[in-house]
Amino acid sequence: MDPEPESSITKVNLGGYAHLLRTNANFRRLWMAQIISEIGDWFYTLAIYTLLLQLTGQAGSVAMALVLQVLPQTFIGPAAGVVNDRIRRKRVMITADLARMTIVLAMLLVRSRATVWLVYPLLLLETMMAAFFEPARSSVIPNITTREDLVLANTLSSTTWSMNLVLGATLGGVVGALLGRNAVFVMNTASFLISALLIRGMSFQEPHAESSRPLRLRDLMDLSPIGEGVR
């Protein structure tokens, strides 16, 4: 005789999504912060590419920007994992959002060919902050949802990421065409501030932070957990 499941899993449907968002304030805030933050990640992408083409006239500058939006996450991933395993993820997400708010606002300083070089370090820093934010957001979901709702919450979160990619790039292009590049940067800055405020309003326990040992600088360079995982 097969053993009975310990608990039933909420069905993945529109009604289940609505119930989860209506009854779970912490997840609702996290989901809204995800929408705003991830749309912000893609919102100003076209503005960056347009800025680089206008000031440099070289397609290679856009290629470099694209590399800086993708490659750093590969290298910063291990360090981000260590940080999120030792520090409260709520704090990591808020810090990442506030840092990105400052970084994107600094993009307004790029106004000529002489200052276009600023785009590259700023874009690198923004990508690094996103690499800290996303693992923290994903890891928090089990802390704020029941076991029955976990699959539902993860499904909604993954689907939202895909929609944000399309929506963010589209809205960024429209706003840039209608209001100008600077308006895109200002609105993107505001999006990260709103995301940080939403996350600040969350209240939940983070047992991993209470039981872990203090984070040391050398821990960020320790790749042994990756080796253990591969083995």
Averaged pLDDT, 104-129: 91
Q: What angle, 0 to 180 degrees and rounded to 10, lies between the N-to-C axes of helices 89-106 and 59-86?
A: 160
pLDDT of amino acid 85 = 74
Q: What integer best gives the mean pLDDT of the chain?
A: 82
213 burial type by CB count under 10 A (0-12 exposed, 13-18 middle, 19+ buried): exposed
CA of residue 58 relative to chain centroid, distance: 29
CA-CA-CA-CA torsion sign (107, 112, 118, 120): positive
Instruction: Tell me the two tokens of residue 193.
Output: 């501030």
Averaged pLDDT, 208-214: 65
* Position 6 pLDDT exceeds 50: no
Residue with tokens 């291990």: 78
pLDDT of amino acid 226 = 58
CA-CA-CA-CA torsion sign (207, 212, 218, 224): negative
Averaged pLDDT, 33-44: 82
pLDDT of amino acid 119 = 92
Q: How confident is the model at residue 163 (pLDDT cuts 50, 70, 90)?
A: confident
Q: How confident is the model at residue 9 (pLDDT cuts 50, 70, 90)?
A: low
* Position 146 pLDDT exceeds 80: yes
Give residue-wise pLDDT tens across range 41-61.
Answer: 777 888 888 889 889 988 888
Distance CA 80, CA 83 (A): 5
Averaged pLDDT, 192-215: 82
Which residues 6+ apart lie within 8 Å of 201 measured at CB? 29
Report field, pTM of the whole predicted structure over 0.85: no
Go through the domains of the chain in sequence order and give each one's CATH number: 24-203 (1.20.1250.20)
Which residues 6+ apart lie within 8 Å of 131 measured at CB? 72, 73, 76, 77, 80
DSSP string, 47-103: HHHHHHHHHH--HHHHHHHHHHHHHHHHHHHHHHHHHHHHS-HHHHHHHHHHHHHHH
- Say whether 113 sits in a helix, a strand or coil: helix
Give residue-wise pLDDT tens across range 59-109.
Answer: 888 899 888 888 777 777 777 777 777 788 899 999 999 999 999 999 999
Contact call for residues 138 and 85 (beta carbons, < 8 A): no
